[in-house]
Amino acid sequence: MENTVDPNSGHAMRHVVYDHFGDTDVLRIESSTIPEPSGEDVLLRVAGAGLNPIDWKTRKGLGFAARQIEDHLPWTPGYDVSGEVIAVGADVTTLAPGDRVMGMVGFPAGGGGYSQYAVARADELAIVPEELDLVTAGALPLAALTAWQALFEVAELEAGQKVLIHAGAGGVGHFAVQFALERGAHVIATASASNRDFLAAFGVHEVIDYHTTDVVDECYGLDVVLDLVGGETGKRSLH
């Protein structure tokens, strides 16, 4: 549904809130005045908002983010967001009204993406490439940032290194294989047989069907393992 509210008209915006933790029935829709951005903030007309495990876990009262907001309810969830810049604060120099942007905003206590309009810091946002659908871009930030941070900020993956990415066709995994290939690494990914062609199309060097092959027998000389499965898979990968 197209979002046509004019932020300068004094209209209210609709947004999702919850007053207490629980199942999906705690979610309700409320109306509030459209906020004005100040300082380094930007006001977006939201096009797409992503749903990630942290969103339902936090709604249930589980995990780190829930501890940050439990004394500040009601709260509007939603970290992954895409949309069009409508207005910018006085200190914003990198974005302007009309820009198409995406980002993981307000983590952990802010959120606010499940709304017709959202306020975010300019440095939380990136320009959406022209060839990428704006609604689809709302599903990208958390998964892509997770892959980027794991490979380059933590593992410090470099060109020529050999990396094994478990669950290479998954949400984080399919970004990780593309980033690693772009960096010039030798990329091995585990996946089910039905995802072999999907990964091969990216140029993944080796795809291992974890249903039929043990990676411990198959892999050697690895520089990095990115474990997106956990449990026993992670323990075996330490070898």
Task: Examine residue 21 and state whether it is found in any structural domain, yes or no.
Answer: yes
Tell me how far apart the alpha carbons of residues 63 and 194 are, in angstroms, rounded to a whole number.
33
* Domain termination residue (choose one: 88, 106, 132): 132
DSSP state of 95: -
pLDDT range class, residue 218, cuts 50, 70, 90: confident
95 and 166 inside one domain: no
199: containing domain: 142-237
Tell me how far apart the alpha carbons of residues 118 and 125 are, in angstroms, rounded to a whole number.
12
The CATH number linked to 53 is 3.90.180.10
User: Euclidean distance between the first and final Cα of the chain, in Å?
Assistant: 50
Q: Considering the entire predicted model, what is its pTM? A: 0.88
Assess contact for 82 and 101: CB atoms under 8 A.
yes
* Domain termination residue (choose one: 77, 110, 132): 132
> Structural domain tally of the chain?
2
227 and 153 inside one domain: yes
Task: Examine residue 4 and state whether it is found in any structural domain, yes or no.
Answer: no
* Domain termination residue (choose one: 132, 166, 188): 132
Tell me how far apart the alpha carbons of residues 237 and 216 are, in angstroms, rounded to a whole number.
7
Other CB atoms within a 10 A radius of the CB of residue 10 amount to 8
Tell me how far apart the alpha carbons of residues 200 and 210 are, in angstroms, rounded to a whole number.
16
pLDDT range class, residue 7, cuts 50, 70, 90: low
126 and 151 inside one domain: no
Task: Examine residue 156 and state whether it is found in any structural domain, yes or no.
Answer: yes
Q: What is the mean pLDDT of the chain?
A: 94
Cis amide prior to 108 (ω within 30 degrees): yes
Task: Examine residue 48 and state whether it is found in any structural domain, yes or no.
Answer: yes
- The per-residue pLDDT for range 132-145, each reduced to its tens digit, is 999 999 999 999 99
Tell me how far apart the alpha carbons of residues 231 and 197 are, in angstroms, rounded to a whole number.
27
184 and 224 inside one domain: yes
Task: Examine residue 33 and state whether it is found in any structural domain, yes or no.
Answer: yes
Output 152 or 235, whichever has higher pLDDT. 152
Rg (CA), the chain: 20
Q: Which two tokens stand for residue 113?
A: 């993406």
17 and 97 inside one domain: yes
Task: Examine residue 63 and state whether it is found in any structural domain, yes or no.
Answer: yes
Among residues of the chain, what percentage have pLDDT more than 90? 86
- The per-residue pLDDT for range 153-193, each reduced to its tens digit, is 999 999 999 999 999 999 999 999 999 999 999 999 999 99
- The per-residue pLDDT for range 78-132, each reduced to its tens digit, is 999 999 999 999 999 999 999 999 999 999 999 999 999 999 999 999 999 999 9
95 and 16 inside one domain: yes
Task: Examine residue 6 and state whether it is found in any structural domain, yes or no.
Answer: no
- The per-residue pLDDT for range 42-86, each reduced to its tens digit, is 999 999 999 999 999 999 999 999 999 999 999 999 999 999 999
Task: Examine residue 16 and state whether it is found in any structural domain, yes or no.
Answer: yes
What are the phi and psi torsion angles at 45 (to 5°)?
-90, 115
158 and 107 inside one domain: no
The CATH number linked to 183 is 3.40.50.720
42 and 119 inside one domain: yes
Number of separate helices (H) and strands (E) present in the chain: 7, 11
Spell out a b/e string for 50-75, using b for 16 or more CB atoms within 10 Å of the CB, else e. Answer: bbbebbeebbeeeeebbebbeeeeeb
Assess contact for 168 and 190: CB atoms under 8 A.
yes
